[in-house]
């Protein structure tokens, strides 16, 4: 059981921002087992002509921290 006093495990997520600083934001999200590095540079450049391009990894992706295994008793 999880109570309000329980704290979620912390970690670090890799993220990158590029493109037009004043453009509307576009967030590129990959599948759960992939890294944000899969996006082709040509796509990022093209989107960046008009948009602020944000790319991130999921937790456990290569550039982000690993999820701790949390086992809670019953």
Q: Residue 28: pLDDT band by 50, 70, 90 thresholds?
A: very high
Q: Is residue 33 part of a domain?
A: yes
What's the chain's average pLDDT? Answer: 78
Q: Is residue 42 part of a domain?
A: yes
Number of domains in the chain: 1
Q: Is residue 67 part of a domain?
A: no
Q: Residue 58: pLDDT band by 50, 70, 90 thresholds?
A: confident
Q: Is residue 27 part of a domain?
A: yes
Q: Is residue 47 part of a domain?
A: yes
Q: Is residue 63 part of a domain?
A: no
Distance CA 50, CA 24 (A): 7
- At 63 the pLDDT is 62
Q: Is residue 4 part of a domain?
A: no
- At 14 the pLDDT is 79
Q: Is residue 5 part of a domain?
A: no
Q: Which residues pair with 56 in a beta bridge?
A: 15
Summarize the confidence of residues 35-61 as an average pLDDT: 89
The boundaries of the domain holding residue 27 are 15-56
């Amino acid at each position: 059981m999880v109570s309000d006093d329980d704290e979620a495990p912390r970690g670090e997520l890799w993220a990158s921002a590029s493109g037009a600083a004043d453009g509307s934001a576009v967030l590129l999200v990959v599948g759960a087992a992939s890294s944000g590095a899969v996006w082709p540079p040509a796509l990022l450049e093209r989107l960046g002509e008009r948009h602020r391009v944000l790319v991130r990894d999921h937790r456990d992706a290569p550039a982000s921290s690993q999820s701790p295994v949390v086992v809670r008793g019953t």
